[in-house]
Structure 1
Amino acid sequence: MSKVVKSVLLVIHSNRPEASATAKDLAKLLTEKQIEVFSTLPNLSINEFSNQQIDLAVVLGGDGTMLRAAEISRGKGVPILGINLGHVGFLAEIEKPSLNEIVTAIASATYSIEERMSLNYQLIRDGKVLQTGWALNEVLVERNDHQMIDTFVQIDHRPLSRWWCDSVICATPTGSTAYAYSAGGPVVWPEVDALVLLPLAAHSLFSRPMVVSPKSEIVLDLGSDSADLNADGIRRITLKKNDRVILTSDKEDVLLAHIKPATFTDRLVAKFKLPVEGWRGQ
């Protein structure tokens, strides 16, 4: 059972008319339940959000919009409820619930909450911490021109390998089904506390995906003239030669809310349309 919800933020995909229309209808129903409603989009006849204290964030969009909501909710202990609007995402509800189901679950606080681990990064330049940040899905150190990057990889203060590659991906279990999956990484169940580390298109004798302890510290030293650090596709930093990127699990989890119970196995089957009834025919 969750706490009583008095205020809700609607995080809306700006380029989906269906999201805006659904937001207006949902805001009306929530207001009738005496729940204060805010919106990330102006001109919707809904209170515009400007860092007010909220009890729940409701996302109307895809996984990209979910990442934006995670950014807004960061540090506030606010659960995020994702509503599927056409595409099945790993972070949102598998099946789109009716507006009445959504309002009833919010008003009665009967949604469940799932904790997802996040990833912390530090950028060290000339021995000083230049920048810190976090990611829900993954952090990449990737090339920003036609040249491959040279990275010296260390884990727990011990050298592992030197990779010439297009990028090095460090992903959370949540991010294991995103870019890391496309690069040949393993699918990690969200309940497993671990980090996935793998290079993309590596010119190396050893370039296997690795599952690393969440207590480990991963260090990437850049030997190339330049590269980019990319966190969740939201935060991007230009790196210089001899920069050091330190990756660890973050102390703060992201809270995902769900109206309908569904296992991660159900999400895999729905997302990838897995042939659970067999593929060989009769």
Structure 2
Amino acid sequence: MKIAIHGRNFPESARPYVQAMFEELTKRRVDVLISADYRDFLDSAGVEHDSQATYRPEDGVTDADFIFSLGGDGTLLDAVTHVGSRQIPIVGINIGRLGFLATVAPPSIRLMIDALFNGQYGIDERTLVSVKSTPDIFGPLPFGLNDFTITRTQTSSMITVHSYLDGEFLNSYWADGLIISTPSGSTGYSLSCGGPVLLPQTNNLIITPISPHNLNVRPMIVMDTCQLSFEVESRSGNFLAALDSRSYTVDVSARISVQKENFKARLVKLGDENFLNTLRSKLNWGWDIRN
């Protein structure tokens, strides 16, 4: 078995779990491939490992059975770009805070590895959003798992986003911006702006305005088979375009279209994991201080 590993900085309390993970992989004679920056961090943190093989995130992972993401949901979003259309299954190990996507707790790492070897896991396929633009904004990585956003720059006033659905005029949003979210991203930025929560397998996208000037404008759910396109007006002459954690300043002359990507992210699901349990746990549904 060959496993790629990517992560970010972790607190000292997590180091024993990470060390135990590498020891378990060594014991099972797993070929390990580590992202270059994370390899540097592991060495500085004193984590011992036998792997001499690294990969550069910009080149991605071309050959692995799984990729382990050690961090929070942001780290897992990075891992999605590392595997891209190769759709290598991603195991999210939650050394972050919230963890809607990265669901494996550090104490369960050894049990998780055992489950992978025994084939006791499922694959949760998640829709990605794809962005095409003129000029090109996101280069070789025009896809994201959570959302695509158009927002004003910090120095600009409210922007106007003229929006079209399959070529038909939809609305001109006078707002701080607009979020196009996948079902996976419905618990992220869109949720904080009043968007609905969608089950991961829902075949929809969410259009969520950010601080709209017209209070009767509300989030809208559309089929993920449609194509959305946008033109932006801004007094500053530019705006910010972001795809998951990657953002760029863009001139208002840019033309942008968004639709479902033709491949998916494949997240490893273990045991009795399910989205409803995650919602109740992470959003404290049913929690009452009186209990």
Q: Which moved more, 1:238-247 or 1:36-45?
A: 36-45
Q: 2:123 aligns with which of 73, 95, 113?
A: 113
**Structure 2 counterpart of 1:49:** 54
Aligned counterparts of 2:173 and 2:279: Cα–Cα separation in 1: 31
Q: Is 1:248 matched up with 2:259?
A: yes
- The one-letter code sitting in structure 2 at the alignment partner of 1:28 is E
SS at 2:150 equivalent = strand
Give the drift of 1:162.
Answer: 1.0
Contact 2:85–2:264 (CA under 8 A) maintained in structure 1: no
Q: Secondary structure at the match of 1:228?
A: strand
Deviation of residue 254 (structure 1)?
0.3
Q: Higher mean Cα deviation, 192-201 or 47-56?
A: 47-56
Identity %, equivalent residues: 25
Q: CA deviation at 1:280?
A: 9.4
Q: How many residues align?
A: 271
CA distance in 1, matches of 2:110, 2:67: 17
TM-score with structure 1 setting the length: 0.88
Judged with a 3 Å threshold, the aligned counterparts in structure 2 of structure 1 residues 55 and 180 are, in CA distance, closer, same or farther, namely same
CA distance in structure 1 between the aligned counterparts of 2:109 and 2:209, rounded to whole angstroms: 43
In 2: Cα distance, 1:192 partner to 1:18 partner? 37
Change (3 A) 1:122 1:59: same
Listed one character per residue, the Cα deviations across residues 40-95 of structure 1 (whole Å, up to 9, x for unaligned) are: 22224333421451110112211011111111111222111112236341112265
Corresponding residue of 2:238: 226
Separation in structure 1 between the aligned mates of residue 208 and residue 22 of structure 2, nearest angstrom? 43
Length-normalised TM-score, structure 2: 0.86
Q: What is residue 145 of structure 2 aligned with on the other side?
A: 136
CA–CA distance in structure 2, aligned partners of residues 275 and 28 of structure 1: 39
Structure 1 consecutive aligned stretches of length 4 or more whose deviation exceeds 3 Å: 15-21, 44-48, 94-97, 129-132, 279-282
Offset at 1:109?
A: 2.6
Aligned to 1:26: 21
8 Å Cα contact 1:153-1:220 kept in structure 2: yes
Relative to structure 1, the CA distance from residue 108 to residue 201 in structure 2 (aligned partners, 3 Å threshold; closer, same or farther) is same
Q: Partner residue of 2:71?
A: 61
RMSD: 2.1
- Structure 1 residue 150: Cα displacement: 1.4
Preserved contact between residue 95 and residue 105 of structure 2 (Cα < 8 Å): no
- Structure 1 residues 28 and 94: alpha-carbon distance in aligned structure 2, compared to 1, 3 A threshold: closer
Q: Which runs of 5+ in 2 are unaligned?
A: 56-60
The equivalent residue for 1:3 is none
The alpha carbon displacement at 1:26 in A equals: 0.9
Q: Alignment partner of 1:75: what SS?
A: helix
Aligned equivalent of 2:280, options 265, 269, 281: 269
State the SS of the aligned residue for 2:75.
helix
Q: Unaligned regions of 5+ residues in structure 1, if any?
A: 1-5
Q: What is the CA distance between 1:196 and its match in structure 2?
A: 0.3
